[in-house]
Amino acid sequence: MQRKLTRSNEHFHKAISKLPLGVTSNFRYWGDDRTIYVKRAKGGRLWDIDDNEYVDYRLGYGPAILGYADPRVDEAARQGQEIGGVFALSTEREYEVAKRISSMVPAAELVRFSNSGTEAVMAALRLARAFTGKDSHIVVEGGYHGIFDSVLWYVDIEQWGDTDEPPIEAGCDGIPQVLKPLTHFTPLNDADYLEHLLKKYGKDVGAFLIEPIMGNCCSITATAEYLRDARALCERYGVIMIVDEVKTGFRVAKGGVQELFGFKADLCTFAKAMGNGYPISALGGREDIMRIIGDRVIHGGTYTCHSVSLAAAQKTLEILDETDALETIATYGRRLRDGLGSILKSRGIPHCFVGHPSMSGLFFSETPPSNYRDWVDTDYTFYDTMAPHLHDLGVLCEPDSREPWFICEAHDESCLTHTLKAFEKAVDITLDELDDEPLRAQAAH
Ligand SMILES: Cc1ncc(COP(=O)(O)O)c(C=O)c1O
């Protein structure tokens, strides 16, 4: 059963005349006849311009943690509008929100606000370079840290020949090749390899950039032991540990992955969940590092701390900090895993869920992946085939299997019932389509 996308298709042909790919982010283009345009969204649901209704597990890649158009946050945002916007001056509220962040995330001794995750990570890297006087950084394979030149590189594991280290490629054209020698990659959960890199390049490496639950790579998760070792190595080699919590921050725990695993970053970055969708991000960190902002390092921007976004962030953080919203989210996430898992299990499909229940990766193997190389080695045909069927059946997951399924506080019983029904159908359609004999044989036992 296929959805009607008549209006979305028509709009796509109009939009493409004025907008590259007909959209405003490359990732929003899903093909000429499958790109959808949104009419509205509310709670855990979204409607496209053809009036197709979806239970949404993308949530804009995570921001809508309380649900779309949350009345408590929107009311605060309206009050923020009364203040007037941006002034190239500061307001008292910035201090209040910074204080809340510091109390939730102790590593964020001082805070600076920006508009997007990209800007926060960009500021963190600059600060680390300035503080250490070292220009290179080490980043975890398979991670995504935004759209700026220094981090838009990837390791091409599939093309790796007999060289010591896998080849590093630019994420797209236009990224200056002169930046390439500044980036080194390490697989997650391999402290020996990290140490090997630090021994080899350590005198030039100012930062180690890590997202301990990889929100752009199936939620593959660092072990507590690895984080402890990496933390110690950063100290030994004089490297700033930047923990990118753009997706995990205020989601996997009030204090993010740092609370979950019991460690402290030198610098950490937040965005997404902190404003329930209003554009705001934050860089937090050790006071001695953060104090060089304003002394030797420039940080700012015309739109930083817009009064609407700041008021929305204040309310969102208050709710996340003072209510049981995160428990509600994790409970739904666990029930979703149980439901999806029993459907897959009953059909003999090997799988496991990865990461935190509030942002689950679905991995098609019984053993959870420990790094990006495990993901590259896994067959994702099943997921790739199933995702469009889920869309047709009213469940909006990311077509890219690396993206986790995000949960919000507004996902309710009716969302879960709908999702499980649709998932069961989509799995069966996919099995028929792939005519998967080994899976069918397994299922018969
Ligand atoms: C871990 C991480 N860091 C940084 C970014 C960049 O954030 P933004 O898209 O707000 O620039 C993202 C975006 O998905 C992310 O997931």
Q: What is the pLDDT of residues 410-422, one digit of tens each?
A: 999 999 999 999 9
Write the residue with the smallest CA distance to atom 7 of ligand 1.
117
Q: What is the pLDDT of residues 91-149, one digit of tens each?
A: 999 999 999 999 999 999 999 999 999 999 999 999 999 999 999 999 999 999 999 99
Cβ–ligand 1 contact at 205 (below 6 Å):
no
Summarised one tens digit per residue, pLDDT across range 311-325 is: 999 999 999 999 999
DSSP, res 36: -
- pLDDT value of residue 444: 45
**Does 79 score more than 80 pLDDT?**
yes
**pLDDT at residue 440 is higher than 70:** no
Indicate whether 362 pLDDT > 90: yes
Q: What is the mean pLDDT of the chain?
A: 95
How many whole angstroms separate alpha carbon 43 and alpha carbon 46? 8
Q: Is the confidence at residue 73, as pLDDT, over 70?
A: yes
pLDDT in tens, 164-221: 889 999 999 999 999 999 999 999 999 999 999 999 998 999 999 999 999 999 999 9
For residue 269, give the nearest of 287, 285, 254, 255 by alpha carbon. 285
Q: Helix (H, G, I), strand (E, B), or coil: what is residue 348?
A: coil
Q: Has residue 242 got a pLDDT over 50? A: yes
How far is Cα 180 from Cα 189, in angstroms, rounded to an integer? 23
Ligand 1, pocket-test mutation among 118, 221, 257, 372, most atoms within 8 A of CB: 118
pLDDT category of residue 443 using cuts at 50, 70 and 90: very low
Query: Would the pLDDT of 64 be above 70?
Result: yes
406: which strand partners?
A: 359
End-to-end Cα separation, the chain, in angstroms: 29
Which pLDDT belongs to residue 437?
Answer: 57
For residue 243, the CA-to-ligand 1 centroid distance in Å is 12
**Residue in 25, 144, 148, 403 to alter for ligand 1 test, most ligand atoms within 8 A of Cβ:** 144
The answer, yes or no, to whether any atom of ligand 1 lies below 6 A from the CB of 244, is yes
Residue with CA at minimum distance from ligand 1 atom 5: 146
356 Cβ closer than 6 Å to some ligand 1 atom:
no
pLDDT for 436 equals: 60
Under 8 Å between Cβ of 291 and 130: no
pLDDT of residue 2: 79
Tell me the two tokens of residue 360: 């689950």
Whole-number Å distance, alpha carbon 144 to ligand 1 midpoint, is: 7
Average pLDDT over residues 9-14: 98
Indicate the pTM of the whole model. 0.96
Please report the atom of ligand 1 found closest to the CA of residue 146.
6
> Which DSSP string do the residues of 173-230 spell out, in sequence order?
TTS-GGGGGGEEEE-TT-HHHHHHHHHHHGGGEEEEEE-SEETTTTTEE--HHHHHHH
Query: What pLDDT does 255 receive?
Result: 98
The answer, yes or no, to whether residue 19 has pLDDT greater than 60, is yes
Amino acid at 35: T
**Ligand 1 pocket residue status of 309, Cβ below 6 Å:** no
Q: For residue 110, count CB atoms less than 10 angstroms from its CB and return exposed for 0-12, middle for 13-18, buried for 19 or more.
A: middle
pLDDT for position 283: 98
C-alpha distances in angstroms, 269 versus 29, 235, 329, 387, 390? 27, 19, 22, 31, 33
Q: Tell me, rounded to whole angstroms, the distance of Cα 384 from its chain centroid.
A: 20
Beta-carbon contacts of 234 under 8 Å, excluding residues fewer than 6 positions away, are 208, 240, 241, 266
- What is the predicted pLDDT for the residue at 445? 43
The residues facing 140 across adjacent strands are: 186
Residue with tokens 């069961």: 424
Which ligand 1 atom sits closest to the C-alpha of 216? 16
Helix 325-346 to helix 307-322 angle (10° resolution) is 70
Amino acid at position 288, single letter: D
DSSP string, 260-303: HHT---SEEEE-GGGGTTSS-EEEEE-HHHHTTBTTTB----TT
Q: CB burial class (10 A; 0-12, 13-18, 19+) of residue 194?
A: buried
DSSP state of 68: B
How many other C-beta atoms lie within 10 A of the C-beta of residue 72? 15
pLDDT tens track for 319-352: 999 999 999 999 999 999 999 999 999 999 999 9
Half-sphere exposure of 26 (CA within 13 A, CB side): 4
Residue type at 95 in one-letter notation? Y
Region 147-171: mean pLDDT is 91
Mean pLDDT throughout 222-226? Answer: 97
- Which atom in ligand 1 lies closest to the alpha carbon of residue 245? 1
For residue 48, what are the β-bridge partners? 38
In this predicted structure, what is the pLDDT of residue 221?
Answer: 98
